[in-house]
């Protein structure tokens, strides 16, 4: 991941301060190697965590598509954010109490542009990975609630689709990196937390890691700390091009957003 040098960061920050917003939008993220990741796909435009949302992310030119992973009662791995199906589907109940047959019987009935779809289904991990492979998207998989025994299966599926070199796994628990490293050193792990020396020291020995941090918790100083220790910085909850350009100016590596932003 390219790290922007100090002088260039200062230049960008200066331009952000003096240029009108129409000029700010002219910055091209690709020219300075900041990766744009679609949050739950392109969820500002399509129902979150669905195949149409991931395809839309690719259509918009996003680099990666973030998703959320659960294991079901029967051990199946599916892509869904909530711990119950009430908000997003025509069903009710805790998703982990269901089997794959029961989950596939549900229809997604909420989300942006939902009226366009009938019988839209919750995707499996396989369906998500196939979509990423077909559409040249980097898989970014957040572990929501899975079993330790699922880790090898997740890694094997990623490898099976030829996506090991570019895939990212994120979680609010740093412990997962220990299990992932039993099966792969190529898959990057990102800790969904604050950037701190304490957190960096939890991960550094395992290599190929990063911090996934909320936009209001990132500063130029802690980005520098991360980079000095070999960590990439992925910032989430970014909603506007102005926010994105500020983050580019302080040298972040990845931006996760519901929106295109460029």
What average pLDDT does the segment 222-230 reach?
99
Reported confidence tier of residue 262, pLDDT bands at 50, 70, 90: low
Q: Is 66 part of any domain?
A: yes
Q: Is 232 part of any domain?
A: yes
Q: Where are the beta strands (DSSP E) in 153-197?
A: 168-171, 188-192
User: Residue 28 has what pLDDT?
Assistant: 47
User: Domains in the chain: how many in total?
Assistant: 1
Task: Report the percent of the chain where pLDDT is more than 70.
Answer: 87
User: Residue 32 has what pLDDT?
Assistant: 66
Contacts of 246 (CB under 8 A, 6+ apart): 13, 16
Write out pLDDT tens, residues 60-73: 999 999 999 999 99
Q: Is 262 part of any domain?
A: no
**At residue 19, does pLDDT exceed 80?**
no
Q: Is 183 part of any domain?
A: yes
Q: Is 174 part of any domain?
A: yes
What average pLDDT does the segment 45-50 reach?
99
**At residue 45, does pLDDT exceed 70?**
yes
- The CATH number assigned to the domain holding 199 equals 3.20.20.190
Confirm if 100 and 76 have CB atoms less than 8 A apart. yes
Per-residue DSSP letters for 189-219?
Answer: EEEES---HHHHHHHGGG-SEEEEEEGGG--
Q: Alpha-carbon distance 64 to 96, whole Å?
A: 26
User: Residue 224 has what pLDDT?
Assistant: 99
Contacts of 95 (CB under 8 A, 6+ apart): 70, 72, 78, 80, 82, 83, 84, 85, 103
Write out pLDDT tens, residues 182-193: 999 999 999 999
Q: Is 153 part of any domain?
A: yes
β-bridge mates for residue 170, sequence order: 142, 190
pTM (predicted TM-score): 0.88
Q: Is 249 part of any domain?
A: yes
Q: Residue 192: which domain range?
A: 6-257
Confirm if 205 and 229 have CB atoms less than 8 A apart. no
How many C-beta atoms surround the C-beta of residue 80 within 10 A? 26
Q: Where are the beta strands (DSSP E) in the chain?
A: 35-38, 64-71, 77-79, 138-145, 168-171, 188-192, 209-214, 232-236, 254-257
Q: Is 43 part of any domain?
A: yes
User: Residue 254 has what pLDDT?
Assistant: 99
């Amino acid at each position: 991941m390219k790290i922007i040098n100090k002088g260039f960061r200062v230049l960008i920050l200066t331009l952000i301060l003096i240029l009108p917003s129409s000029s700010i939008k002219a910055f091209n993220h690709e020219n300075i190697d900041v990766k744009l990741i679609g949050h739950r796909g392109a969820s500002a435009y399509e129902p979150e965590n669905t195949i149409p949302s991931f395809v839309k992310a690719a259509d918009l030119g996003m680099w990666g598509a973030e998703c959320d992973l659960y294991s079901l009662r029967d051990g199946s791995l599916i892509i869904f954010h909530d711990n119950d199906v009430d908000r997003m589907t025509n069903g009710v109940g805790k998703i982990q109490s269901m089997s794959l047959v029961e989950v596939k019987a549900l229809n997604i009935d909420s989300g942006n542009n939902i009226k366009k779809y009938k019988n839209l289904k919750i995707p499996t991990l396989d369906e998500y990975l196939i979509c990423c492979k077909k559409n040249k998207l980097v898989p970014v998989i957040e572990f929501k609630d899975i079993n330790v025994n699922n880790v090898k299966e997740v890694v094997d599926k990623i490898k099976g689709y030829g996506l090991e070199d570019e895939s990212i796994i994120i979680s609010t628990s740093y412990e997962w990196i220990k299990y992932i490293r039993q099966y792969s050193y190529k898959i990057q792990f990102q800790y969904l937390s604050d950037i701190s020396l304490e957190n960096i020291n939890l991960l550094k020995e395992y290599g190929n890691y990063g911090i996934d941090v909320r936009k209001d918790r990132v500063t130029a100083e802690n980005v520098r700390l991360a980079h000095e220790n070999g960590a990439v910085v992925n910032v989430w909850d970014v909603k506007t091009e102005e926010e994105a350009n500020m983050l580019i100016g302080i040298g972040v590596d990845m931006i996760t957003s519901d929106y295109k932003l460029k």
